[in-house]
Amino acid sequence: MLMKKSHEMPTREAALPGRPDPVRTDEVHYVTGRPLKGPHPEGFETAIFGMGCFWGVERVFWQLPGVWVTAAGYSGGYTPNPTYEETCTGLTGHAEVVQVVFNPHEISYAELLKTFWENHDPTQGMRQGNDLGTTYRSALYYLNDAQKAEAEASRDAYQAALSKAGQGGITTEIAPAGPFYFAEDYHQAYLAKNPGGYCGIGGTGVTCPIGVGVDA
């Protein structure tokens, strides 16, 4: 039962109960050595992205200049402190996501959004490639009104580019960020620990027009 993939979001009442304590995770990032849970430098900001399997997603972001630290986790659902096996059922409501802590003086939220749109297919609903289920949905969880406005504007700009290229409608969930739960230690920086591991990252091939003349 625990490995059955769900394509429908559960209700809060039907969600798994979870637990009061967090699951065990890494204290510092395997690649950078920086603390996953902080403290982070003053003035740094946080973003949360869901693009399918978080293994490949995290690597995309930790390689960007200006990104301080990344962490794989679960967000967008109901179950407190879920395990990986629980999220895979779809009965927690969570998506696999990556939390990105970044220096806004070195990389902007808009640049992170461009990376988000171009490195997965946001038109697939409750899946990403061969990964099926609600945990693999495309999601942007914003932490303030400015992020919300930028996320929505970027979605509209990318939809125009996708439509021009003859591709489908964006299904990305854009919602306020709720609790972020760190995934288990073995998921953190997974592709650095396992260089030959699975990476499901793949974009549409359509350039996101952020920074390249959106109104052109």
Name the residue with tokens 């990305």: 172
Q: How far apart are CA 8 and CA 130, in angstroms?
A: 17
CB atoms within 10 A of CB 163: 13
Q: How far apart are CA 175 and CA 178, in angstroms?
A: 9
Q: How far apart are CA 99 and CA 36, in angstroms?
A: 9
Cα→Cα distances 33→11, 42, 51, 188, Å: 38, 18, 24, 12
53, 88, 199, 208: the active-site residue: 53
Q: How far apart are CA 39 and CA 61, in angstroms?
A: 19
Alpha-carbon torsion 109, 57, 53, 47, what sign? negative
| The one-letter amino acid at 98 | V
Per the annotation, the verdict on 88 as an active-site residue is no
Count H helices and E strands in the chain, helices first: 5, 8
What positions carry a catalytic annotation? 53
